[in-house]
A and B are shown apart, each in its own frame.
Chain A
Amino acid sequence: MNAKKSWWNNPIMKEKIEEKLRAAFGEDILTVAEHRDELTVEVKRDRIAEVCRFLKEDPELSFNYLSDICGSDMLDFEDLSSRKSYLAVEHEHRPEPVPNEERFEVIYNMISLENKSRIRLKVKVDGENPICPSITSVYKSADWYERETFDMFGITFEGHPDMRRIYMPEEYEYYPLRKDFPLMGVPGSIPLPRK
């Protein structure tokens, strides 16, 4: 990769973001990771709305545009046996499964228009009782993104004004993007129209 392709974060901003976040939230910033020049900050779940508000309202950072929210199911993430090899190798390596308290992730992508930089926030959500605080009070655009995440993963966002399904029918019982939902769907789960 040549230099011009270091796309999102200018290096000064990267250090500044980390420094400022650590100063403001201390222990609640869990990890700061970097992959392919992109900054991912893992935040304690209960503080996510405050962190977002800080990032949005701090004059030097001003992450004023929320570009996306998505969920992710980490069930058996490390398990490579799902990989279909043409030699059909049995993987002996069975790593520890991801603990149920950290089964889901909610991922927030934000842009700072002034500083031309991006940041990704991440929170871990419990698999048993998936609840996450809503950030609709900070970014209005979070409304539909959170509804979509709820629809696909069943993560309930506390404080959301209108927590309904957005794509699937209202009475649908399953959450399709969870890893334990079969690819072909559940036969009979969506009633066919009467003839």
Chain B
Amino acid sequence: MSTSSENKKEISQILKVLEDRDTNVVIDDPLENYMVLNMGPQHPATHGVLRLLVKLEGETVVDCIPEMGYLHRGYEKIAEASTYMEFIPHTDRLDYISPIANNVAITLAIEKLAGIEAPPRAQYIRVIGAELARISSHLMAIGAMAMDVGAMTVFLWAFREREKLYDVFDLLTGVRFTTSYTRIGGIAQDMTDETKAAIERFIDEFPTHHHEIEKMLNRNRIFLDRTVGVGVINGETGLDVGLTGATLRASGVEHDLRTFSPYLVYDQLSFDVITENDGDCFARYMVRMREMLESVKIVRQALDKIPQGPIKADMPKKVLPKKERVYTKMEELIHDFVIVNDGIDPEPGEIYSAIEGSKGELGFYIKSNGSGRPWRLKIRSPSFCNLQALPLMVKGQMISDVVAIIGSIDPIMGEADK
């Protein structure tokens, strides 16, 4: 009885409100409230397992928090338990789009720590490998970015070129994807004439296909509308939040480790550091496009200048001997055994060595305590640093621009999550 009487009372109140014209029923304006959108980690445009929490006002991004760690495999911990040589294959899995560049970076760091220098031929081949990896990575970046803003064709064209590059890597390193090509003090195998011819064929043909992509995108109305003026970041802020690589150069900062502190043989090769001043998605696209042609230039010069000679340093106690000699000579057998089981024992100390990887400054900080395994190995991954600027870039943009901005930063989560 009591419930029905209460119900009647409520209903009568509501009716009274409805009849009374001076009473207002206030409903919150839905457009005045923020909406929080969870983007990823399985979103196709987040380039892997990046998760973004985006706070929206209507369609405008008010705030954005990247969450990561979905691909965290603990490589720094693994490094502490493996010898220096054992860690080289793990670097393939960091930035899996350009594994040779990672191999070169880790090997240079180890060589610096142990005081080894690779012979000139090996250094030239490393340069060639790293630059081809850069082309491969930039093709992926541009293709994926174009697909994110709706241009499917470019993605397929870019992948056609990458397929040719994979064939080149196959000849050069023996594998297509996870190359593990470098060794401490040199490289795994020499570049044959057949490989050299294949690389030459690729760099001869590549500018034509590069131009096709340019024709498709550079003055494409839709592409320009989606990228020009989107995700702008200026150079000063970029430096402050730790932008690196092509993303930094697109904001007008001329910083490239290949000229900043020339490693390998970059000081003997002539190339330009590409910069753009706008700092938007289109500028980042343009920097990558132009850098690919510079890489072609570098590879061509390196192929011309490459000297004959050994591909491994002559330091028997540090550098793995040739396999034929291991099977036939006692001395080499002993060295092989000790290097593989014990490691190369660099003297105690700490170093930081970085190269201009495909995404930016790829550095390794290694601390040795004199044993065969690194005491601490820190990977300074460019994707991680670039992602830190993402909240700044997307603030005030539309929700659909977030996709274009992520594409223009080109993060690889294998590298960002380590």
Contacts and interface: CB of A to CB of B under 8 A. Distances in A.
Nearest to A167: B69
Given A35-B351, A176-B74, A116 B261 contact: yes
Interface string B362-386: 0101010111110110101000110
A70 B384 CA distance: 13
Of the four ranges (under 10, 10 to 19, 20 to 34, 35 or more), the interface on chain B belongs to 35 or more
B262 interface: yes
Given A36-B349, A77-B369, A85-B342, A68 B261 contact: no
Contacts of A148: 384
B157 interface: no
Interface stretch (A21-29, A125-133, A135-143): A135-143
A73 B369 CA distance: 12
Interface in A137-195: 139-141, 143-145, 148, 152, 165-169, 176-177, 181, 183
Nearest to B81: A183
A176 B77 contact: yes
B72 A35 contact: no
B351 A36 contact: yes
Interface stretch (B185-193, B220-228, B237-245): B237-245
Interface string A109-122: 10101001010100
A107 interface: yes
Q: Shortest 3 CB-CB distances between A and B: which pairs?
A: A141-B242, A167-B69, A83-B371
20 contacts: A5-B263, A38-B350, A38-B352, A65-B239, A70-B365, A70-B376, A83-B371, A84-B342, A86-B338, A86-B341, A109-B380, A111-B260, A118-B352, A140-B240, A141-B240, A143-B388, A144-B242, A144-B384, A167-B72, A183-B81
Given A2-B117, A139-B242, 13 more contacts: A4-B262, A35-B350, A65-B242, A68-B352, A83-B371, A83-B373, A113-B239, A120-B350, A141-B241, A167-B68, A168-B69, A183-B78, A183-B80
